[in-house]
Chains A and B, each alone.
Chain A
Amino acid sequence: MSKLVVDGVGRTFPGVHGGAPTLALTPVSLTVADNDFIAILGPSGCGKSTLLRIVAGLDRPTAGRVLLDGAEVKAPGADRGMVFQSYTLFPWLTVEENVRFGLREKGLPAAEQASIARHWIRKVGLEGFERHHPKMLSGGMQQRTAIARALANAPKILLLDEPFGALDHQTRGLMQELLLAIWESEKTTVLFVTHDIEEAIFMASRVVVMSARPGRIKADVPVPIAHPRHYTVKTTPAFSSLKARLTEEIRAEALKVEGAALPGD
């Protein structure tokens, strides 16, 4: 069944100082099945983050609506966990207190909060760092804590907005494996926004390609690679041919953004 239905969702930002309004997202429709891992792939400025923020309830669409389990999304809530590109751990709280934030907000008993937090801290491999403050952690560890914090709330869907965008290449690879392993064992529904083609193919079971601004859905490509996936799938022919295809799609969009043909084209 469809977990999430994006029904003709569009977003226009009002003009600044009497200027023309900006169309950030032409109405898009998308359905996400339960336990599916969808990557939304697009060049920067294509409105993919705007779409994710609308699903999260942090932004309101100017057209259409978002349904989660049949109920319309009107505001942010604990049923949609989110991991941001920027480091958004609360700096005054320890790793454990960060993971417990949503549980405390729900009013769970302290013992239950502690056991759930322990479970997720172990899942993301941060045992021994429970009492550390975010500033003592590397970028990768901060994002792992942010994933644990979002998942501890047992959301119906996990939204990730280029969560590994600020990390170096090696750390990013490890984080992808970690998130994929968590998804393979937990089977939560995931919507993952990225501009990294390899990242999208490696993790997602379906890649939705968005066009340059104003954003719309250009292609919806299933990834026919079986789970569990080992990082070595990145060098298989199936992976490479898919990567070649998506690279073409994205390159065309990136060129539109830059507004110029490159030498040799």
Chain B
Amino acid sequence: MNPLVPVSRARKVALGIAFFVLFVAAWSVATLGGFVSKTFLADPLTMLAEGWALFAKHGFAFDVGMTVWRVLGGFVLAALLGVPLGIAMGAFKPVEAFFEPFVSFARYLPASAFIPLLILWAGIGEAQKLLVIFIGVFFQIVLMVAVTVGSTRRDLVEAAYTLGAGPRGIVRRVLLPSAAPQIAETLRLVLGWAWTYVIVAELIGASSGIGHMITDSQALLNTGQIIFGIIMIGLIGLVSDFGFKWANQRMFPWSLA
């Protein structure tokens, strides 16, 4: 192997799949071979059977739907407020000086630590779940967007000035289009974090959702269901990630190398 030499597409796909095969094989050997107790880790076949039962008998589709709704709700809310604020901070230095210290501080507050407080304020309903996700991702979005907009190539900004652009034109016709691909990439990254927060929010004080199902299964020592729930989250995350990547490539073909 030589550093940085690209692999062919077919080989890349084969290698990617190979890891999953190895992973499942190792898991099967450990569980079906009797090396690990069933109480601690279900085997792959049990996991699939439990998954089927979840959908067929326990209405798991509703839980998945609730979780997806919460993620999207909290994420969209945070993006709708966070992206414009980030753009304003990146473009205008006084705005940045005003908000940046607080946002940098708030970014380090763990969203999960707010759950007890949020339950007190908002109860255990949907508002609380959305707030956990919102707190978890809003400040990250603001800071990352501000950095992206602030790092717009200065020579492009200067070129626009010499072409007669004013402050408004610079923001709308240079900063925004220049930052757009990176902002979309930021949102893709942050959506992944939103998934982490939703499960944490659902582990405490929820009556539906994938996280709630996982807590219930823990009480019943049903590791098959727990693993199935985790894999569901991974699959949904993978699909949304691919969707985002595909959309970004379609929207910003000029930004690809």
Contact = CB atoms under 8 A, between A and B. Distances in A.
B177 A77 contact: no
A153 interface: yes
Given A90-B177, A135-B254, A102 B164 contact: yes
Contacts of A213: none
Contacts of A135: 254
Contact of A153 (B156, B164, B166, B255): B164
Contact of B163 (A75, A86, A153, A159): A153
Interface in A68-96: 75-78, 80-82, 84, 86, 88, 90-93
A81 B165 contact: no
Contact of A150 (B155, B162, B180): B162
A51 interface: no
Contact of B255 (A77, A78, A91): A91
Contacts of B169: 105
A4 interface: no
Given A88-B155, A91-B255, A101 B173 contact: yes
A149 interface: yes
Contacts of B160: 90, 101
B163 A92 contact: no
A30 B161 CA distance: 24
Contact of A76 (B158, B173, B252): B158
A78 B165 CA distance: 8
A88 B255 contact: no
Interface in A122-165: 133-135, 146, 149-150, 153, 159
A88 B164 contact: no
Contacts of A133: 253-254
A58 interface: yes
Interface in B160-204: 160-166, 169, 173-174, 177-178, 180
B159 interface: yes
Nearest to B252: A92
Ranked nearest first, the 10 interchain pairs of A and B with the lowest CB-CB distance are: A78-B164, A102-B163, A76-B161, A88-B159, A82-B162, A92-B177, A133-B254, A105-B164, A88-B155, A92-B254
28 contacts: A56-B162, A58-B161, A58-B162, A77-B164, A78-B162, A78-B164, A81-B162, A81-B163, A82-B159, A82-B162, A84-B155, A86-B155, A88-B158, A90-B156, A90-B160, A90-B174, A91-B255, A92-B177, A92-B252, A101-B160, A101-B163, A102-B165, A105-B166, A105-B169, A105-B173, A106-B164, A133-B253, A135-B254
